[in-house]
Structure formats: C-alpha cells, structure tokens
Amino acid sequence: MKRFRNIALALVVISFFLVVAVCTFYNINMAKVSNDNTPKEVTIKAGSINSIANTLKENNLIKNITIFKVYTRLTNKINLKAGTYNFSEDMGVKKIVSLLTVTALAASLTACGSSNGKSGSDSSGKKTYKIGICQLVEHNALDAATKGFKKALTDKLGKDNVEFDEQNAQGESTNCSTICNGFVTNGVDLIMANATGALQAAVSATNEIPIVGTSVTDYGTALNIKDWKGTSGTNVTGTADLAPIDKQEDMILEIKPDVKKVGILFCSSEPNSAYQAKLMEDELKKDKIEYKEYTASDSNEIQSVTQTACSEVDAIYIPTDNTMASGIETVKNVVIPAGIPVFAGEKGICEAGVTALSISYYNLGYQTGEMAYKILKEGADPGKMAIETDKNPTKLYNKENCDTLGIKIPDGYTEMNDAK
C-alpha cells in the first residue's frame, strides 16, 4: 500500500512539474522576440493560420509557430486579415494577433455596409442610425459605459432604428485608429469613443462625423486644447469621469489620518491619469503630506512598480486609469499581502482598494447616449455642447479588503457590492 502511495505521489509531482514546464514554455514563446521597435513592413497573404504563422516567423516577429497557432485557436481569433502591416520585434504574439484581428473587423465593417456607405431607412421610411463604438479596452467601467450608452439610444430611438458596430481595441492605440478609420469609411452617423485613446483616434480620423466621448477625464488634455473652457468648438462633445480630487484626498485623510507618504500609481502613457496625479499632488501639498509617483509604461510593469511602491509608502492612490483597471488583480495580489491600503478613483480599481469616490459608469454612458440623441434627432451642435459629468459620486468601500487590513470605515460609505 505504501508503495502505491509513493508511486501516486511521484506521479502528482511529475505532473505538477510538467504543467509548470508547459506554462513556462508557452509564456516564453508568447513574449516579444526582442526589444527592437523598428517597424517592419510585412505583407500577410490570404491563407491558413499556418501560412500566416510561417510568414511572421520568417520575419522574426514570433518565436514559435505552434504557440502562435495554439493562441489563435484558444482565443478564437482565427479570422485574420490579409494585407500589409507595420510590425516590430517588440510586439509579441498578443499584439500582433490583436492588430490582425481588429483590421479584419474594420474591413468586414466596410464590406458589409450599404452601397453608399450611409445609414438607410426601413420600409416605413424611418431613418436607421448607424453608430460606431470604439472602446479602448475591456474592463468593468468601460463595459458599463458602453452598455449605458447603447441603452439610452435604444430607449430614445427604438431598437429597430439604430445599429451599433461595437469594437474593442484591446488596449492598443493603433487598433483604435484602425477601428475609427473603418467607421469613417463606412459612413457611420456618429462615433462613440470610450476612453481617451479612443477619443484621440476618432478625432484624428474625422472632423466631420459627430463624436461623443465617455470615460474621458479631462477633454482639454485629451484634445490638446490649452485654453479649455468646457466646449470643444469642433465635432466633439461627451461626458467626463473625473470625481472631485479634493474629496478623494479628504477620504485618504479620513480613513488613514496618520498617513506620512502617499504613492500615486498610474500608467505613464495615459495623459488623463497624469492629469489626475498632478491634481492629487496639489491637494497633498496643501496638507504637507509627502508623495511620490510610481508609473508603469504598460501592463507588464504593473507588478514590479506596485512592489516598489509598497516598500516605500504607507498608502497608494490610483486614479481612473485603464491600464491599472485591466491589471487590477495584479495590483491586489501585491498590496493586500503587503498591508498597504489603496484609495481608488473608481469602483473597478477599488477591487484592490479600501475606498473609492466613484461615479456610475453605466449612468455616465447613458448620459452620453442622451447627448448623442440630441445631436442625431434635434440637430444639436457637438462643438457647442458642454462636457457633462456625473454630479453625484458615491463614497464606496471594499468590505473584504478593509476587514483584511483591519480598517474601520466611518458612516456615510456604501459597501461596494451593494452599489449599482
């Protein structure tokens, strides 16, 4: 009996190490070939996944053909588009497949459009509005905003009188550009740009088609308008997701009155995050609290940057930041064991935090849809429409994280799981 137990134990150990070895091999071969970001013009010919993989391998853009094929099948991204692309060796499999997939979607959008590229009418003569939705990345906040936007326009126009082409750029600015250029080619009636990167791509794609943004913190920064006065004067309007920074700092002092140094954690490639960081720094200065910025250039750096922050500060602030929101589990797995409380700019980021002064992204998206309706049906000029905000942010707390860290929450806060 003992012999059988030993054999079984040995099999378990061997299986474990085999799984580790396979996972390690997979991750190594998914990674970038090198740090060289020099563009390579590569022509992808129509054909099988295998032929596409061979072309990429021949150009030293992927490490392993089999791993590339496995990834496309596991993620169901098998409809890759032939064409000429600018790739580089520092992209890795995910980025390359993402670009090939999004371009394929944009091309199919054009191919499937009406013959004149404009919105049509049904048999009763009612106009059917075509709306292009470009969402920067998939996470709870942006998903909720898109859902609210679609619900508002469906409520206002009727489900039979509006068509949505909803596309996700998977966190890549180049994908945003491809998507928005596809919308312009297809002659959509309006573009909804969800997050700053999507808005900037839409603005670059057209100065004629109305654009409504949402989940954008500061439109002056996003549109590079220095003398920002609340309206764009162009084809752009929308809603902003900035909750009052002074009230967010008040929450830090209320929950951790003995705080000595605050780490401000955000993605360096997101200008609206840097804008919020500066506002928070100004508030901390007023109260003579030390602070330091900790920035990650992309999701791959989140863990190491968060670890560094935890070793140097006694509290962390994370503004509304798409990269951090997408990698929030990584943040949580570092800060909670380290015992460092995170104060978040929105509900999704509070998955790793203790409190957040949060807006409802669903309501914000719905507001954006109502603005779009005014443009489409009432002839409102987006350049003259003031940027709107959620006027009633909610003080939320994460009960699980607070209990783990031994933090007592005063009255006036809503448990995060109970908030809409």
pLDDT digits (tens, 9 = 90+) for 54-82: 888 888 988 888 888 888 877 776 667 67
* Residue, of 234 and 108, whose pLDDT is higher: 234
Predicted confidence band at 46 (pLDDT cuts at 50, 70, 90)? low
Q: Which pLDDT score, from 0 to 100, does residue 254 have?
A: 96
Residue 290 phi, psi (nearest 5): -70, 150
**Average pLDDT score over the chain:** 87
> CA end-to-end span of the chain, whole Å?
57
Residue 336 phi, psi (nearest 5): -65, -50
Q: Is the pLDDT of residue 419 over 70?
A: no
Which runs of E-coded beta strand occur in 54-128? 83-87
Q: Which pLDDT score, from 0 to 100, does residue 285 have?
A: 96
Q: Is the pLDDT of residue 123 over 50?
A: no
**Domains of the chain (ranges plus CATH)?**
12-110 (3.30.1490.480), 127-241+361-389 (3.40.50.2300), 245-358+394-418 (3.40.50.2300)
Average pLDDT of the residues in 338-358? 94
Cβ count near 282 (within 10 Å) = 12
Which one of 43-57, 75-89, 200-214 scores highest in mean pLDDT? 200-214
DSSP class per residue in 241-309: ----HHHHHHHHHHH-TT--EEEEEEETT-HHHHHHHHHHHHHHHHTT-EEEEEEESSGGGHHHHHHHH
Average pLDDT of the residues in 12-25? 71
Q: Is the pLDDT of residue 116 over 60?
A: no
- Global confidence as pTM: 0.62
* Residue, of 5 and 383, whose pLDDT is higher: 383
Average pLDDT of the residues in 35-57? 79
* 174-184 pLDDT tens trace: 899 999 999 99
Average pLDDT of the residues in 382-397? 90
**Which of 111-115, 213-217, 269-273 is least confident?**
111-115
Q: Which pLDDT score, from 0 to 100, does residue 324 have?
A: 94
* 218-235 pLDDT tens trace: 899 889 888 888 899 999
* Residue, of 98 and 385, whose pLDDT is higher: 385
The β-bridge relationship of strands 355-358 and 342-344 is parallel
Average pLDDT of the residues in 93-120? 56
Q: Which pLDDT score, from 0 to 100, does residue 121 have?
A: 53
* 270-318 pLDDT tens trace: 888 998 999 999 999 999 999 999 999 988 999 999 999 999 999 999 9
Helix axes 2-30, 92-111, angle to 10 degrees: 60
